[in-house]
Amino acid sequence: MDKNNSSENQEQEEQVVNPWEVSAKGKIDYDKLIEKFGCQRLDQSIIDRVARLTGRPPHVFLRRAVFFAHRDFNEILDAYERGEKFYLYTGRGPSSEALHLGHLVPFMFTKYLQDAFKVPLVIQLTDDEKCMWKNLTVEESQRLARENAKDIIACGFDASKTFIFSDFDYVGGSFYKNMVKIAKCVTYNKVVGIFGFTGEDHIGKVSFPPVQAAPSFPSSFPHLFTGMDNLRCLIPCAIDQDPYFRMTRDVAPRLGYHKPALIESLFFPALQGETGKMSASDPNSAIYVTDSGKDIKNKINKYAFSGGQDSVENHRKYGANLEVDIPIKYLGFFLEDDAELEYIRTEYGAGRMLTGEVKKRLTEILTEMVERHRRARAAVTDEMVDAFMAVRPLPNMFR
């Protein structure tokens, strides 16, 4: 995202979206973002195509346009129809132990993609990035990476098809060779334009983008994809990661590689509303996977921004403002039943259903989700983490 300082652009630059900053005056304008970034909307025809090709209903995040934009997803589907497989690549920057629901979104969707298309997956834990940006020690960022791996594994990935790696463990060999090849193709001016680095930034930051680009190319994983240089890559991620992969797609043809395809999600809204920021320092801005049922009920009731009217009388008269109501938005993410969601939206929008009911339903859903996650995570042992992170071939990765 160009951080162009000319005054002309500053008027247009009401919103800033890059891997380290997401902010806007008011809500994020996703239409403008798609236009500025140059990616495509995910339309209904693609969603129908996915359902047809995978023989199962499309994931709730597709139906509700949580994943709403893409680059070359059609080409992935074209190739898949021809019998050509692909692999998935997603990641996490392990900056804290506390994961919230927004962090789970890309992993929930990626698990669906793995199951639906029966393809392998690599997951990058960018402990080096967090060490560099968050001023963590090497040891601390590695520790966080392993802790986060447990939450990721708890999302239900198939160990026979999934390779999780931390940069501090894995960078080297073929991966490092690709980092160098990529770095040769990107000037300093270019990364300034894409990421907004300045002369006072340390060179670790400048050298990082190739690290996040490298997993887009199958030759970075010789233990998995030797001899499969033509294997395509699909990257599910939040749209703030787009700059890394715009850069990568620009470089790929010069290295004789396929451009990675992307499928991108909106930002998960903070409890206090779309204009708020989820922040690790404000525990009431998000629902964490470590929250108890009581915490969840309390946070939803007290902090979830309501689009309902200020009195029951007004609410029955005017109905709720669905555009700003956070519980409705959260239900959009996590209530799988389209019919029930439509019902709630209609009733609440007309004022026949009250805020309390909506929040109660949401609390039920989130509590069940968080408790399932917590049980799954408690069952993840260090041995399982080692298994997912072992550098090993995945002989059944396309079954």
Long-range contacts of 58-65 (CB under 8 A, 24+ apart): 59/109, 59/112, 59/113, 59/116, 60/333, 60/334, 60/335, 60/336, 61/105, 61/108, 61/109, 61/112, 61/265, 61/333, 63/338, 64/332, 64/333, 65/266
Are the beta carbons of 107 and 152 closer than 8 angstroms?
yes
In the complex with a copy of itself, the residue whose CB is nearer, 65 or 192, is: 192
Q: Classify residue 286 as exposed, middle or buried by CB count within 10 Å of its CB (0-12, 13-18, 19+).
A: buried
What b-and-e string marks burial along 168-205, b requiring 16 or more CB atoms within 10 Å of the CB? bebeeebbeebbebbbebbeeeebbbbbbbeeeeeeeb
The interface region with a copy of itself, picked from 3-11, 108-116, 188-196, 318-326 by CB under 8 A, is 188-196
Whole-number minimum distance, CB 179 to a copy of itself, in Å? 8
Helix (H, G, I), strand (E, B) or coil at 267: coil
Whole-number minimum distance, CB 83 to a copy of itself, in Å? 32
Does the footprint of a copy of itself cover residue 255 (CB under 8 A)? no
In the complex with a copy of itself, the residue whose CB is nearer, 180 or 378, is: 180
Does the footprint of a copy of itself cover residue 185 (CB under 8 A)? yes
Does the footprint of a copy of itself cover residue 186 (CB under 8 A)? yes
Does the footprint of a copy of itself cover residue 168 (CB under 8 A)? yes
Write the single-letter amino acid at 266: L
Binding mask 193-232 for a copy of itself (x = CB under 8 A): ----xxxxxxxx-xx-xx----------------------
Whole-number minimum distance, CB 72 to a copy of itself, in Å? 25
Neighbours of 260 (CB within 10 A): 24
- Which DSSP helix (H) or strand (E) runs through 264? strand 261-265
Residue written as tokens 């940006």?
Answer: 133
Whole-number minimum distance, CB 85 to a copy of itself, in Å? 26
Whole-number minimum distance, CB 197 to a copy of itself, in Å? 7
Does the footprint of a copy of itself cover residue 5 (CB under 8 A)? no
Does the footprint of a copy of itself cover residue 393 (CB under 8 A)? no
In the complex with a copy of itself, the residue whose CB is nearer, 138 or 379, is: 138
Whole-number minimum distance, CB 389 to a copy of itself, in Å? 14
Binding mask 105-134 for a copy of itself (x = CB under 8 A): -----------------------x--xx--
Whole-number minimum distance, CB 383 to a copy of itself, in Å? 22
The interface region with a copy of itself, picked from 88-96, 173-181, 229-237, 291-299 by CB under 8 A, is 173-181
Tell me how far apart the alpha carbons of residues 71 and 154 are, in angstroms, rounded to a whole number: 29
Q: Classify residue 361 as exposed, middle or buried by CB count within 10 Å of its CB (0-12, 13-18, 19+).
A: middle
In the complex with a copy of itself, the residue whose CB is nearer, 168 or 398, is: 168
- Provide the greatest CA pair distance for the chain: 68
Write the single-letter amino acid at 379: A
CA triple 22-110-156, angle to 5 deg:
120
Tell me how far apart the alpha carbons of residues 2 and 8 are, in angstroms, rounded to a whole number: 13
* Of the residues 20, 29, 188, 379, which one makes contact with a copy of itself according to CB under 8 A: 188
Evaluated on CA atoms 211, 135, 3, 93, the torsion sign reads positive
* Of the residues 59, 71, 103, 181, which one makes contact with a copy of itself according to CB under 8 A: 181
Whole-number minimum distance, CB 219 to a copy of itself, in Å? 10
Does the footprint of a copy of itself cover residue 252 (CB under 8 A)? no
Binding site for a copy of itself (CB under 8 A): 128, 131-132, 135, 138, 168-173, 176-177, 180-181, 183-189, 191-192, 197-204, 206-207, 209-210
